[in-house]
Amino acid sequence: MKLSDYVIKKISDYTNYAFTGQGGSVVHLNDSLSKNKKMKIIPAQNEQGASLAADAFYRASGKLGVVVATSGPGILNTLQGMACSYYDSIPGLYLSGAPVTGSIKKNKKLRQLGFQEMQVVDIVKSMTKYAVRLKKAADIRYEIEKAVYYSLEGRPGPVLIDLPDDLQRQEINEKKLKSFKPSNKLIKINHSSIKKLNYLFSKSKRPIIILGNGVKISKTDKKFYKIIKKYKIPFATTWATTDLFEINDSLNVGSFGVYATRHGNFSIQNADLLIILGSRMNGTQIGTASKFATNAKKVLVDIDKSELKEENKVKVDCKINIDLSHFVKIFEKSLKKIKTEKKWYEIIKLWKKKYPTVQKKYFKEKQYANPYVFFDRLSKNLKKNDVIIPDASANLVWFYQAFQPKKNQKIFTALNHSPMGYSLAAAIGAAVSLNSKKEIIAIIGDGSVQMNIQEIENIKNYNLPIKMFIIDNQGYGMVKQTIDTWLNKNYVGCDKSSGLSIPDFIKVFNSYEIKSTEIKNNFEIEKKIKQVLNFKGPIMCNVKVSPNARIIPKLKPGFPLHDMLPNLSRSEIEEQMRIIKN
Ligand SMILES: Cc1ncc(C[n+]2csc(CCOP(=O)(O)OP(=O)(O)O)c2C)c(N)n1
């Protein structure tokens, strides 16, 4: 059997799609893909699109995303999606072609020997869980099994196998290939830390459980929710898990962080115990570390030991290094009666009512579509089961601040890497992973569309049910807001007046033969959203937003989470923070 046929046969045990680029060193892999009846391919217009689609393929369906790209420029283009997967713990298998073995340099100091030769393994080392160049054909089964194992086990992430062209063409005897046997290294539970957790819980009057990406990855959301319900424990989600829990649940305190909600932030800042599950508490979640939830004892549970080292400077009182699927069972068994105060529930309810993010006055704006109104109405109109993929920047924040998810909706983006243009390519991976059976909603800023505009040719070509909403504020809104804060509005390269022009997207999409429409102001929002959602097939809707629209509320740099912009009066803030003193 030809080695490349074997590779594809093997990966068809894990998945049914590959996102591909072409080139001299992957013609054999692509040929084998085309001949394998279990596999389908989507050839991306740019390999970056392939990598983003593969990332989303897994997020939408739980099936392994596979990327094929030629040596040198091809595989280099895929680093964007690889980074998205690595930083968000998403599995993925990258197969790169390499020149024939004889054209791969041996002397480290030599820059390049073969055409398009590149030290791919070195380049991707810091963004993969495992990366290897195949040395001999007989190792192929071992390497594929090892790579896939590492991609999926523990904290998942992407892996890469670099396949020299001559080895791809080599004949192998399938029966004689050695296999990979993983060693079972279970993380040992530290019982004293579980005891400490229970002790802290027994003392707590105002606890909050924070459910991070680890909860999604380990698929433990329902199990944790059972505990939350049983013991009536208030909880907060991160952006990664907003779609797993009802926003109107009285125990859900709402989102917290630099770009979140006032009610969520007041809750976190007033808590006396935070149990943080599978969340790395990054800067956008905590603001200034020394001012983050200073009244709370903190328990951090994470599968990755490195996340427990307090590099983010948040002092943790109890660290538990364990897989959440294991922890949830221990937690359930060990939890005793808890002493949450009645007034803790009451005040959380009050904050949610008092500080809505989508304010009534936004609906009265006449000239443009207000982004909060738009996302409020979009969330009301989307159906259960829809898949929603926001992109990056201000429109991403507006989305998460205003959107109210419905049951069984899937919402994801590349949370930690957040490259502009993610959602257009990701939507393709999501659509094909679900056999186009669900509607895919891609949301993107006008500045980001151009980063992956080429992939809409595939959306048209495969007639994928993707509804694209461009939030058109004529430039890089979020960057402008940052410049407003630090550099007195000296905009550089972020709108037409500062040297960066934005094309007319209606014309652009028309030339790709994709239907398009526009929302010009608040009054058109409801009707146009309905029209777009009722349209069969791909469609783009350009939503006109004021170039001056800003993220509200937002944290001032250096301030604690409870002190967001626009400023509340000192007395109002103090009143909200008084609960901890009483
Ligand atoms: C590939 C890439 N380059 C640069 C950035 C830095 N960056 C983050 S947001 C942004 C501007 C995005 O503008 P737009 O898509 O119009 O979104 P808006 O803020 O206006 O909603 C930039 C340049 C990035 N995230 N990704």
3-state secondary structure 282-316: CHHHHCCHHHCCCCCEEEEEECCHHHHCCCCCCCC
Q: For residue 531, how far is the Cα from the chain centroid? A: 28
Burial environment of residue 454 by CB neighbours within 10 A (0 to 12, 13 to 18, 19 or more): middle
Q: Ligand 1 centre from 445 Cα, in Å?
A: 8
pTM across the whole model = 0.97
For residue 419, the ligand 1 atom closest to its alpha carbon is: 26
Q: Which amino acid is at 372?
A: Y
Alpha helices in 355-476 (DSSP H): 371-381, 394-402, 422-433, 446-449, 456-461
476, 480, 484, 550: residue to mutate for ligand 1 pocket, most atoms within 8 A of CB: 476
- Which residue, judged by its Cα, is nearest atom 11 of ligand 1? 476
Q: Ligand 1 centre from 451 Cα, in Å?
A: 10
Q: Ligand 1 centre from 413 Cα, in Å?
A: 14
Q: Is residue 473 lining ligand 1, measured as CB closer than 6 Å?
A: yes
- Which residue, judged by its Cα, is nearest atom 13 of ligand 1? 476
Q: Ligand 1 centre from 494 Cα, in Å?
A: 9
Dist CA 63 CA 92 (whole Å): 9
Q: Ligand 1 centre from 135 Cα, in Å?
A: 41
**Taking a C-beta distance cutoff of 8 angstroms, is the pair 242, 411 a contact?**
yes
393, 474, 494: residue to mutate for ligand 1 pocket, most atoms within 8 A of CB: 393
Q: Which amino acid is at 308?
A: L
Residues of the chain with pLDDT under 70: 579-582
Burial environment of residue 21 by CB neighbours within 10 A (0 to 12, 13 to 18, 19 or more): buried
Q: Is residue 495 lining ligand 1, measured as CB closer than 6 Å?
A: no
Q: Which two tokens stand for residue 195?
A: 């005891």
For residue 391, the ligand 1 atom closest to its alpha carbon is: 15
Torsion of CA 225, 229, 231, 233, to 10 degrees: 70
Q: Is residue 348 lining ligand 1, measured as CB closer than 6 Å?
A: no
For residue 502, the ligand 1 atom closest to its alpha carbon is: 16
- Which residue, judged by its Cα, is nearest atom 16 of ligand 1? 447
Dist CA 483 CA 497 (whole Å): 14
- Which residue, judged by its Cα, is nearest atom 20 of ligand 1? 477
Dist CA 256 CA 263 (whole Å): 8
Helix axes 47-61, 422-433, angle to 10 degrees: 50
Task: State the pLDDT at residue 581.
Answer: 57
Dist CA 469 CA 545 (whole Å): 12
Task: State the pLDDT at residue 281.
Answer: 94
Burial environment of residue 544 by CB neighbours within 10 A (0 to 12, 13 to 18, 19 or more): buried
Residues 6 or more apart from 384 whose CB is under 8 A from it?
Answer: 406, 407, 408, 409
Whether the ω angle into residue 465 lies within 30 degrees of 0, i.e. cis, is no
Nearest to 140 by CA among 118, 122, 162: 162
Helix axes 324-334, 191-203, angle to 10 degrees: 50
**DSSP per position, 340-372:** --HHHHHHHHHHHHH--SS-GGGGG--SS--HH
Task: State the pLDDT at residue 188.
Answer: 79
Can you tell me whether residue 581 is helix, strand or coil? coil
Q: Is residue 443 lining ligand 1, measured as CB closer than 6 Å?
A: no
Task: State the pLDDT at residue 580.
Answer: 62
79, 479, 491, 545: residue to mutate for ligand 1 pocket, most atoms within 8 A of CB: 479
